[in-house]
Structure 1
């Protein structure tokens, strides 16, 4: 059990891949980003009912932003949803980690030393970031609703 004096984050090199689920999810994410970067946005409306009345959520603009991030246009990706840059390039890093691991049989593994206090702080920071993104996206409702279907 970690204590408050233990390191919060630790990178280790191991002989076993303990994050296969991460690699699989990252590969699917990159495949989806590559498809929309190549062929365009999906022909169906992916928005929930609240979007149709102008209520944005933190993930609004994510598909368009992921497309721009996959194309390397980070300014446009940031404009629509900065979270997409983290997701697309994080997935790229996870797949690169897997590639290096397959070649070298050494896997970079991130260990987190959770304590109850660290867990509470992490949740609090994550909630503040999520609420901040929600406010940002709502302030950009006109941009995010552009080109989407509305009932009104």
Structure 2
């Protein structure tokens, strides 16, 4: 019996669905979409994630050169996460349909302990540095 879709994968799938909606809205608005950042509104500083919406919109339009300066760390992370979530959803769907089972990546405990804090540390450092420059 196929295992149920992991709650984290469902959450990431919801984020990707939101991205698809954002892509549609971006297309309908002529590329003039932007969500205000509460941190920036309160402090006047850019948070580590500021520019991610504009970066994603530029990527959806195929403009890689315009996407990079908006948020370089997320430029690297977003495609990797998108591919991983897409693969997990494909594996789950194929298994649910009873066709076949794709191997699923299972990161070790050490990776699960190190990667999230390292990512947050990199983003925090980026948040500080982008406001100093």
TM-score range with shorter-chain normalisation?
A: 0.5 to 0.7
Contact 2:55 2:66 in 1 (8 A): yes
2:50 paired with 1:57: no
Is the counterpart of residue 114 in structure 1 residue 109 in structure 2? yes
Q: Determine the structure 1 residue equivalent to 2:126.
A: 133
The structure whose residues are more often helix, as a share, is 2
Equivalent residue of 1:112, what SS?
coil
Higher share of residues assigned strand: 1
Q: How many residues align?
A: 124
Tell me the TM-score normalized by structure 2: 0.64
2:14 to 21, 25, 28: 25
Structure 2: segments with no counterpart, 5+ residues: none
Superposition TM-score, scaled by structure 1 size: 0.58
What does residue range 52-91 of structure 1 map to in structure 2 within 5 Å? 53-82=43-72, 83-84=74-75, 86-88=77-79, 90-91=81-82
- Give the 4+ runs in structure 1 shifted more than 3 A: 15-20, 49-53, 121-124
Structure 1 residues not aligned, in runs of 5+: 1-14, 141-152
Q: Does structure 1 retain, via aligned residues, the 8 Å contact 2:45–2:131?
A: yes
CA-atom RMSD in angstroms: 3.5
Instruction: Note closer, same or farther for the CA distance 1:33–1:131 as it changes in structure 2 (3 Å cut).
Output: same
